[in-house]
Chains A and B, each alone.
Chain A
């Protein structure tokens, strides 16, 4: 007989009989055990469907980016005083959509850059990702969308952008300048891992806007 209090009825009629399968000292009724077991099984079955689906949708976040080096011209084509635009492909096999522009120049001793290095500045505005254009006459990069202005080095001198223009890694192979993966810079032009536009870089912002796990480290 279970605890008398469990089986007592409010209306004072005789106590309920013990449920089938009751034994002395049980901690859980048979009905309760089956309810818990059925719900646990249902949970496992649900998770078996939902988790793969979520992983399937999230997988691209963790995809390793392929490092592609693209030749953009002979080393002698570039000079330290002005930029030359180069069309590069950042996503393969999707035609025009996968292309972007890098503005490339030779290192300028005026900015503490070695004359044999090459600076490739991305045309992706650091505000909302619109394409900026290098305006020769002003020596500035100007964004058509919201009026962001960057100086010759790509530092912000006006408008809403939150950090200087991104850059691409460069190297010289067999006399050809090659452009590699993208990286972002802090306001002091220190390289950091690539971030999306609109995200601050440097200091605490490195934690508030974590980089994509698969992004290659900066040079």
Chain B
């Protein structure tokens, strides 16, 4: 065991195997330093078995004909990660209150160092994410990749699309300028036109009969806690199914029928 023993608490140290040198014996300090990264990975792997999972995920077989269109899903994931990161930093300056929201957004845009850039990433990244989702969805549709056994992944993807649109709707209110205010008023009123449950749903969104004191907080909580949590969970399920079921070959590749794979059955 050439992992720097000093870093491992005694109870966690692996006892030397029979015939193995006691820790700290072999090689000079430079040799041991060189082996440290590999040993560190080994230490974690021995306790989690993670390498099997990671290699299975990263080094899985892909069909012939896999091309650039297959990167759209990863691109969408990357867009989401950017939204999450920039969102966390925007939250450090944002105040969700009807009287202070607009001022806090102007402050973070105009006064905070690189604020305009971070907010721009979040604002334009939102649009990019929606576009990427639709491109990814089109790829799946036109390549027939939604068919058996991948229907459930299509369903999860549609739920993710809806959740992303909810993110767009709730995030739109947060700058609290005239445009976001009236867009939210209209969106709430459209919600209210659903028969029977519509009026109650709108009341739930607005937290009352009018856009009021806690509407911004409510949208903020939905935007940064509720929906992102759901999205992360569903992305996990989406990726799990991608890894488990594998990807499809593009439709223009004919299936190769190897003689070996055919068998006759006598009836």
Inter-chain contact B199/A212, CB cutoff 8 Å? yes
- Closest residue of B by beta carbon distance from A214: B209
Inter-chain contact A211/B199, CB cutoff 8 Å? yes
Which residues of A have CB within 8 Å of B189?
128-129, 196-198
Given contacts A94-B99, A130-B182, A196-B189, contact A215 B209 (CB under 8 A): yes
Which residues of A have CB within 8 Å of B207?
60
Inter-chain contact B195/A95, CB cutoff 8 Å? no
Whether B82 sits at the interface, judged by CB under 8 Å, is no
Inter-chain contact B212/A210, CB cutoff 8 Å? no
Inter-chain contact B99/A58, CB cutoff 8 Å? no
Q: How far is the CB of B37 from chain A (nearest CB, A)?
A: 44
Which residues of A119-168 are within 8 A (CB) of B?
128-130, 145
Mark interface residues in A92-108 (1 if CB within 8 Å of B CB, else 0). Answer: 01110110000000000
Inter-chain contact A209/B209, CB cutoff 8 Å? no
Q: How far is the CB of A192 from chain B (nearest CB, A)?
A: 13
8 Å CB contact of A97 from B181, B198, B200, B204 = B181
Which residues of A have CB within 8 Å of B99?
94-95, 97
8 Å CB contact of A58 from B196, B204, B206, B213 = B204
In the bound complex, CA of A197 to CA of B213 (Å): 20
Interface size on B, residues (CB 8 A): 28
Inter-chain contact A91/B185, CB cutoff 8 Å? no
Whether B208 sits at the interface, judged by CB under 8 Å, is yes
Which residues of A62-76 are within 8 A (CB) of B?
63, 65
In the bound complex, CA of A75 to CA of B192 (Å): 36
Inter-chain contact A199/B209, CB cutoff 8 Å? no
8 Å CB contact of B192 from A93, A95, A196 = A196
Inter-chain contact B213/A94, CB cutoff 8 Å? yes
Which residues of A have CB within 8 Å of B214?
60
Which residues of A have CB within 8 Å of B182?
130, 145
8 Å CB contact of A128 from B98, B190, B198, B208 = B190
- Closest residue of A by beta carbon distance from B211: A97
Inter-chain contact B204/A93, CB cutoff 8 Å? no
Inter-chain contact B213/A208, CB cutoff 8 Å? no
Whether B116 sits at the interface, judged by CB under 8 Å, is no
Inter-chain contact A208/B196, CB cutoff 8 Å? yes
Whether B193 sits at the interface, judged by CB under 8 Å, is yes
Q: How far is the CB of A57 from chain B (nearest CB, A)?
A: 7
In the bound complex, CA of A95 to CA of B204 (Å): 22
- Closest residue of B by beta carbon distance from A127: B189
Whether B40 sits at the interface, judged by CB under 8 Å, is no
In the bound complex, CA of A210 to CA of B99 (Å): 32
Inter-chain contact A145/B186, CB cutoff 8 Å? yes
Which residues of A171-200 are within 8 A (CB) of B?
194-199
Beyond contacts A91-B208, A209-B196: 4 other A-B pairs, Cβ-Cβ < 8 A, are A57-B204, A61-B208, A95-B98, A98-B98
Can you identify 7 A-B contacts, CB atoms within 8 angstroms? A60-B204, A60-B208, A94-B98, A94-B213, A98-B212, A130-B182, A199-B199
**B: which residues have CB within 8 A of A?**
98-99, 181-182, 185-186, 188-190, 192-193, 195-196, 198-200, 202-204, 206-214
